[in-house]
Structure 1
Amino acid sequence: MKARETISALLLLAGLLTGAQARAEDPQGKHGWDITVEANTDFPLSVGGRLGVESPWRLRLSTSLGYMPAAYVGLVNDVGVGLDAYGRNEADLIESSLKNSLVWRTHVGWRPFARAGLYVEAGYGLVALGGEVSAEDVLASLLGIEPPGDAEALTREYRVRSVLHMLDVEVGWRWGLGAGWTARTALGAAFTLDSNTRVEPQFQPSQPLLVTAFSRLAEGQLDRTFERYVHLPVLSFSIGYAF
C-alpha cells in the first residue's frame, strides 16, 4: 500500500514538474506583434526602405518602397547579353525605359518555425515612373520600326515610360543582432506578368496620325520585350530595427 502511494506521489510530482517546465518554455517560442523598419536592397530591382509586421502566429506582411538604380539595370543587361539571353538592342530598350523607376513591393508570408528565422513570402511588385527621353532615330533603330518620314526626324524626341506588374516569391532568413537590431537576407524571383508602356512625343507633330501610329507600334514592341525578358532572380539584404 505504501509502495503504491509512493509511486502515485512520484508520478504526481513528475507531472507537476513537466507542466511547470512546459509553461516556462512556452513563452520562448511566442512573441507579440513584431514591427521592423529596414534599410533594404533587392538586387537588381531596388534600393530603399522596408516595413515588416509579424503577428504572434508568425504570419508576415511587408511592404517596401525604393528606386531602381541605373547601375542595377546595366549590370543585369551586361549579364543577359553576355549569356545570349537577349541582344544589345533589347538591353538598351530595357535600360532606357526602366532606370530610376519607382519600385513598390508588398508581400504576405509565414515563418514556419518559432525558434528559427526561416520565412517564405509571395506578393505583388510594381515598377513605374522611370524612363527617359529618347531621340526618334535611336528609338526607331532599337525597335526596328520605320519612323514617320519628315525632315525634322533627327531632332524629334519621345518620352518612354513603362509600368511593370510583377509576381514576387521569396525565401529568406532573419537574425536578431541584439538590442532590437536585425539583419535579413533572402533569395527570390520577380516575374513580369504585364507591361504598360507609353511613348509620348515631346514635340508638336506635323503628321499626327503617323506619329501616333509610330508611338503605338513602339509601345507594343516594348511591352513584348518586357513580358518576355524581364524575369529576374532577386537577392535581398536588409539591416533593421524591431519595435
Structure 2
Amino acid sequence: MKTRSGVSALLLLAGLLAGTQAEAEEKREGHGWDITVEANTDFPLSVGGRLGVESPWRLRLSTSLGYLPPAYMAVVNDVAVKLGAYGRNEADLIESSLKNSLVWRTHVGWRPFPRLGLYVDGGYGLVSLGGEVNTEDVLVTLTGLEPPEGETVLDREYRVRSVLHMLDVEVGWRWGLGAGWTGRTALGAAFTLDSNSRVEPQFEPNQPLLVTAFSRLAEGALDRTFERYVHLPVLSFSIGYAF
C-alpha cells in the first residue's frame, strides 16, 4: 500500500510539473496587446516616428508620420537617371516638388509565426507638399511648357501643392533588444496610385485666362510625372520601445 501510494504521489508530482511547464511554454509563445513607439526612417520616403500595435492573435496595425528630406530624393533621382529610368528634367521636377513633404503611412499586417519576428504589412501612404513657391521660369523649365504670352507682370510666382496617394507593401523583421527595447528592419515598395496638384499664381495677372490655362497645364504635367515615375523601393529601420 505504501509503495502504491508513493507511486501515485510521484505521478501526481510529475503531472503538476508537466502542467507548469506547458503553461510556461504557452505564455512564451503568446502575448497580450503589444504597443510600440519607434524612431523610424523609411528610405527614401521619410524620417519621423511610428506607433505600432499588435494583438494577441499577431494581427498588426501601425501608423507613422514624418517628412521627406531633400537628400533622400536627390539620391533616388541620381540613381534613376544613371539607370535610365527617367531623364534629368523629370528628376528635377520630382525633387523640386516633393522635397520637405509631409509623409503619413498607415499599415495593417500579420506576424504569422509566434516565435519569429517575421511580418508582412500593406497599406496606404500619403505624401503632401505644403506649398512650394516657384518663379515662372523655374516652373517652365521643370514642366517644359510655354509661359503665358502677353503677361507683363514682373516677378511672376506660383504656389505649387501636390498630394500623392500611394499603395505600400513591406516584409520585415522585428526583434527584442532587451529591457523593452526593440529593433525593426523591412524591405518594401511604395506605388503612386493617384496625384492631385494645384498651381496657383501669386500675382494679379493681366491675362487671367492665359495664366489659368498655364496653371492647369502645369498641374497636369506634375500629376503625369508623379503617377508615372514615383514608384519606389523602400528600406526601413526603426528603434523603439514596447509597452
Match of 2:88 in 1: 88
In the aligned structure 2, how far is the partner of 1:201 from the partner of 1:214? 10
TM-superposition CA deviations, 1:162-217 (whole Å, max 9, x none)? 10000000110111011111111000000000000111111111111100000000
Structure 1 length-normalised TM? 0.91
Match of 1:209 in 2: 209
Unaligned runs of 5+ in 1: 1-8
TM-score normalised according to structure 2 size: 0.91
Letter in 2 for 1:90: E
Distance 2:136 2:188 in 1: 37
Query: Pairwise mapping of residues 1-243 of structure 1 onto structure 2 (< 5 A)?
Result: 19-130=19-130, 132-150=132-150, 152=152, 155-243=155-243
Q: What amino acid does structure 1 have at the position aligned with 2:222? A: L
Q: Conserved in 1, the CA contact under 8 Å of 2:151 and 2:205?
A: no
CA distance in 1, matches of 2:102, 2:174: 26
Question: In the aligned structure 2, how far is the partner of 1:125 from the partner of 1:92?
Answer: 22
What amino acid is aligned across from residue 226 of structure 1 in structure 2?
A: F
Give the length in aligned residue pairs.
237
Secondary structure of the residue aligned to 2:166 is: strand
- Percent identity over the alignment is 84
In structure 2, runs of 5+ residues without a counterpart are 1-8
Is contact 2:74–2:95 with CA below 8 Å preserved after alignment? yes
Moved over 4 A (4+): 9-20
Deviations 1:65-101 (A, max 9, x none): 0000111111111111111111111111111111100
CA distance in 2, matches of 1:180, 1:18: 29
Query: Equivalents in 2 of 1:162, 1:63: separation in Å?
Result: 21
Distance (Å, rounded) in 2 between the aligned partners of 1:11 and 1:222: 77
- Paired letter, 1:133: V
- CA deviation digits over 1:92-142, x for unaligned, max 9? 111111110000000000111111111110000000034522121221222
In the aligned structure 1, how far is the partner of 2:153 from the partner of 2:87? Answer: 25
